[in-house]
Amino acid sequence: MSTLLIEGGHRLQGRVAVEGNKNAALPLLAACLLTEDECVLENVPRIGDVEVMARLLLDVGAEVDGIGSTTLRIRTPKVTTHEPDRALVGRLRGSVLLLGPLLARVGRAQIAPPGGDFPARRSIATHLEALLHMGARQGGSGDYLLEAPDGLVGASMYLYEASVTGTETALLAAAAARGVTEIRHAAMEPHVVELCEFLQKMGADISGIGSSTIRVEGAKRLGGARHTLGGDYIEAGSWAVVGAITGGEIDIEGARESEIEVVAAVLKRMNVQCGMRDGVFEVKPSSPKSVRRITTGLWPAFPSDLISLVTVLATQAEGRTLVHDWMYELRLFALEQMSGMGADMFLADAHRIIVTGPTRLRGGRVLDSRDLRSGMSLIAAGLAADGQTRVQPLETVERGYSRLVERLEGLGAKVAKVE
C-alpha cells in the first residue's frame, strides 16, 4: 500500500493533458471480445482499472499487446473460458461488461460479484434484465451465471434505470444478437456514444446514438476495428478543481468542449474563472463563491463522479452550499474526514452535505481514500491545506488517474509517494 505525502499551500500552475475516457475504455475493451479479428485502441488511459480489464481479457483467452501504454492491440481467436478470474472481477465493477461478449462467443458466462467503488450498494439488476430479454437464462450459482446455448436474440426493452453500464451491457449483447434490439430509457453519456461508434466500426447497424432510444441490428459477424478514445472530461474537471482550490492557473488539454461544458457550468457559477480557448480548457486564479445548491444528474447534468471534488472546492468558497448527490449513497461520507482539517461540513443524510466556507484547512491528517473520486478530492484538500497531509491508499486513486504523482509535480505540487 502506498501513501501520498502532500505539503500543502502551494499555488499550482502549468499545463496538463488528459488521456482517454476511463469510462469509455472499459466497454470498448469488452467489445473487442466480440470478434476474432484484431482491434486497436489508441489514447487508452494508463490507469489501474484499464490494466485490470486488460488482464481479464487475457484470462479468458485474448491476446493483448501494449498493456501499460496508450495503444492496445487485442485479438481473441478463441475464448478459452466463460468464467473470468474471481480476484480480478472483485477489483473492477466494469467486469460486468464481459457478460454480453462471453454469451455471444461461447453461449455461457459466469462472473463473481463485481468489485469497484461501493460494490454492496450498486446493483447489476438492469444488466441481467437486459440479457434475459435477449434470451439468456439465469443459472442457480452463487455467482452470476447466464446461459444462451442457442445464441442471443434481439428484443425490445425498457431499462428500469438509465444505467450507463446497464446500457452498455445491452449494446454489447445486441451487437452480436440475431435481429433487432430496441433499448429505451438508455443512458446518453459520452462513453455510451463512444461504444456505439466503435460497435458501428465493427459492423453493427446502430441508430439513435446519443438519444434515450437506441436501435441495434446485430451483425452476423463482427470484424476488427481501430478507435481513438476521446479525452476524459471527468479527469479534466478534476484538474480544474485542483487548479481552482489552490488559487492556481492550469491549462488542460485533451477534453472536448461539448463534454467539459457540463463541468464548466458549475465552476463558473462558483466564480471560478475558466473556459475553453483554442481547444485548451483554461483555469485562472479565482475567488470561489458558494452557490445555493449543486445537484448531480444523468447526462447532460452535472456528473456524480465530480461531486466530491466540488464539495471540497466549496470549503474554500465564500458562503454556504448544499451539495446533493441523489444518484449514489455513501459517496460523500468519506469527506467527513475533512472536519478534522477544519472544514465546516454538515452531513444531512447519505445524499446531502452542507458546506460553509471559506475555512482554512489544516494538514497533519492521514486521510482514507475509500473510493476513487473521494481519494482525488482528499488530495485536492491536502494541496489547499496548511502543513502536511497523507492520503492512502494511493492505489485507489491511481485506478483512474494516470501518472498522478508525476503530473502533480509537473504543476508545482510538493508531493511524494511513500511505500
Residue 348 sits at the vertex; the CA angle it makes with 244 and 161, to the nearest 5 degrees, is 85
Residues 6+ apart with CB under 8 A from 259: 190, 230, 231, 233
Cβ atoms of residues 348 and 210 within 8 Å: no
Distance CA 411, CA 419 (A): 22
| Closest alpha carbon to 240 in 278, 279, 285, 277 | 285
Phi then psi for 11, rounded to 5 degrees?
-80, 125
Q: How many helices (H) and strands (E) does the chain have?
A: 13, 23
Q: How far does CA 141 lie from the centroid of its chain?
A: 29
**Cross-strand pairs, 324:** 295, 352
Q: Read off the C-alpha cell for 144.
A: 452470476
Indicate if 117 belongs to the active site: yes
Among residues 49, 85, 117, 371, the one annotated as catalytic is 117
**Cross-strand pairs, 226:** 40
Cβ atoms of residues 192 and 167 within 8 Å: yes
Distance CA 402, CA 37 (A): 29
Distance CA 93, CA 98 (A): 11
| Closest alpha carbon to 77 in 39, 116, 51 | 39
Cβ atoms of residues 54 and 29 within 8 Å: yes
Q: Which positions are catalytic?
A: 117
